[in-house]
């Protein structure tokens, strides 16, 4: 490890030792190290194939049954992105973030990822602002279900609690962020006395707003990303390197008495 990287890791560890309530925001760059393509940038899914249709939410609202039928067909047929998520497993950074939580160093993770990997790695306090690909959500009461537990004999499926229509939990273009997730994200941003940003370009709102909110309140900002981002100029510590290397290294430093 070069001296510059070692210094930034030690600076970050010092901030964590002073913190009482650290919050993290993670993005596609974190899961890219598990083989899941990013959306934007070189080699990104949207860069190569274009952004998804912006009327998905409208189509669901107009005809949930037709939307579910199409969704099931796509899941069976698969896509590069879906296949990558299906075979992905947590990488060292996911596990290291779970370890930070277990150590009492990281209070909460806000993730933009839909891949469920942070939960699989063992993190317990996670808010998935863009939803979870492995779940469905009731459009009336907000209750979430594991997808495999849903009876798809009748479409659209309905909530066992309130009878509302279910859709997959992933937030579509044009769909409002679920109120419970958004409220929790704002609550965490207001509580944070240290904010860690890992693997996100910080250009998608409202997620990009949370570290800014914490920063305006005086919370130091740590960025872990191989590339410069929209937050780089505001970061107190910038760790330039892959998360699967740098987050475990940060944990190792924090294990030293």
Largest CA distance in the chain: 60
Decide if 74 is catalytic.
no
Angle 145-146-151 from CA coordinates, rounded to 5°: 80
Is the torsion defined by CA of 227, 118, 151, 157 positive or negative? negative
Exposed e or buried b per residue across 55-86, where buried means at least 16 C-beta atoms within 10 angstroms of its C-beta: ebbeebeeebeebbeebeeeeeeeeebeebbe
**Cβ atoms within 10 Å of 245's Cβ, excluding its own:** 19
- DSSP for 59-85, please give it: HHHH-HHHHHHHHHHHHHH--HHHHHH
Catalytic residue among 94, 108, 130, 158: 130
In Å, how far from its chain's centre is CA 66?
A: 28
Tokens 């490890």, located at residue: 1
Whole-angstrom distance, CA of residue 243 vs CA of residue 199: 7
DSSP at 232: G
Whole-angstrom distance, CA of residue 218 vs CA of residue 108: 18
- Catalytically active residues are 130
């Amino acid at each position: 490890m070069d001296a510059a990287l070692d210094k930034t890791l030690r600076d970050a560890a010092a901030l964590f030792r002073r913190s009482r309530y650290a919050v993290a925001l993670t993005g596609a760059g974190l899961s890219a190290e598990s083989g899941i393509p990013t959306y934007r940038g070189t080699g990104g899914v949207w860069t190569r194939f274009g952004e998804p249709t912006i009327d998905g939410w409208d189509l669901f609202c107009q005809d949930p049954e037709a939307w579910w039928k199409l969704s099931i067909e796509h899941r069976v047929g698969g896509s590069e992105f879906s296949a990558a998520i299906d075979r992905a497993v947590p990488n060292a950074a996911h596990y290291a973030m779970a370890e930070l939580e277990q150590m009492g160093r990281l209070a909460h993770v806000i993730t933009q990822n839909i891949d469920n990997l942070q939960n699989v790695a063992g993190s317990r306090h996670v808010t998935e602002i863009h939803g979870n690909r492995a779940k469905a959500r009731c459009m009336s009461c907000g209750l979430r279900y594991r997808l495999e537990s849903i009876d798809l004999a009748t479409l659209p499926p309905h909530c066992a609690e309130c009878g509302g229509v279910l859709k997959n939990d992933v937030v579509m273009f044009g769909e409002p962020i679920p109120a419970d997730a958004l409220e929790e994200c704002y609550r965490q941003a207001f509580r944070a006395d240290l904010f860690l940003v890992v693997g996100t370009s910080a250009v998608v709102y409202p997620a990009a707003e949370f570290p800014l909110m914490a920063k305006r309140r005086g919370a130091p900002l740590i960025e872990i990303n191989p590339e410069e981002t929209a937050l780089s100029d505001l970061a107190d510590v910038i760790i330039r390197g892959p998360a699967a290397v740098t987050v475990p290294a940060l944990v190792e430093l924090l294990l030293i008495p």
